[in-house]
Amino acid sequence: MKTTSIKVRAYLMLFKIRLTLLVCFSAAFGYLLTGQTWYSTQFLWLCLAGFLVTVSSNILNQVWEKDTDALMTRTQNRPLPTGAISPAEALLASLLIGVVGLGIFVFKFNLNAALLSLVSLLLYAFVYTPLKTIHPIAVFVGAIPGALPPMIGWIASTGHYGWEPGILFGIQFFWQFPHFWAIAWVLDDDYKKAGIKLLPSSGGRDMKTAFNIMIYTLLLIPLGFMPYMMHMTGIESALIALLAGILFLAQTFYLMKECTTKAARLIMFGSFLYLPIVQIAYLVNKI
């Protein structure tokens, strides 16, 4: 019984539940913004499909990073570095879970949503992950699958691409740069142990990096108005997005002034607040 409990905990850690739920929230946001309801069976299918595909991606990521995870304090107790789950077992679990998730997208929704989910999985696991130890462009590459969930949710509902899902993609795409660079700033010492290169400046935690964070955060302000301009939401949510963007931007000016880990940590927490606040505002105020 104790062995089973340990195994379950290992798999829950392997699944990265908190990250997976955040991804599912973004997909659900895109789906509901089209006018779908949260109390329908289809919505539950969407959440399940998104959950499974994300879990599959997370497992592949950890299989690839098994050795580098063992070098970092933050990740050395994950199931693969500790041997709680073998790479072969993890790969089999990822394959089965991923196939089921993609199958739900095909049979319960549409081929476009399934293909986009597959692209997201492949980019995250097989392009972004290995690039992390090669070049900081990994953040740009990783921002693509990271921004696809709301687009996938929209397309799962409508079956087609368009400006609307593109705008949702754009907001989440540009949000990820200050988000991940702030995390990389805070964890830079740990990342260096594994040779992971995410900060945009060769100097690391410096003014150049802080300036890049500010620029990408600044771009969120006009992007936050786009759903209103496209008649997807009302003016109230646009104003909330504007206020959230200004407060987020103010944190980047503080980082430029101080260039400290404390300032970067504030941006990291600010990014965690910005996206759900703006997305919930859009949902509540949708047209």
What is the phi/psi pair of residue 233, to 5°?
A: -140, 175
Residue 39 token pair:
């109390």
DSSP for 135-179, written as a single string: -TTHHHHHHHHHHHHHHHHHHHHHSS--HHHHHHHHHHHHHHHHH
| H helices present in the chain, as ranges | 2-15, 17-32, 41-64, 66-69, 79-82, 87-104, 111-123, 129-131, 138-158, 163-186, 188-193, 207-229, 235-258, 261-284
pLDDT single digits (tens) 72-109: 999 999 999 999 999 999 999 999 999 999 999 999 99
Residue 203, pLDDT score: 66
Confidence of residue 197 (pLDDT cuts 50, 70, 90): confident
pLDDT single digits (tens) 155-191: 999 999 999 999 999 999 999 999 999 999 999 999 9
Residue 10, pLDDT score: 93
Rounded to an integer, what distance in angstroms lies between the CA atom of residue 268 and that of residue 110? 35
CB-CB neighbours of 17 under 10 Å: 14
Q: How far apart are the first and last CA of the chain?
A: 52
What is the phi/psi pair of residue 286, to 5°?
A: -65, 150
Residue 35, pLDDT score: 93
Pick the closest to residue 195 from 150, 134, 253 (CA basis): 134
CB-CB neighbours of 174 under 10 Å: 19
Is residue 109 within 8 Å of 156, Cβ to Cβ? Answer: yes
Residue 286, pLDDT score: 87
DSSP for 155-166, written as a single string: HHHHSS--HHHH
* Average per-residue pLDDT for the chain: 94
pLDDT at 201 over 80: no
pLDDT single digits (tens) 37-77: 999 999 999 999 999 999 999 999 999 999 999 999 999 99
Residue 2, pLDDT score: 57
Query: What is the chain's length?
Result: 287
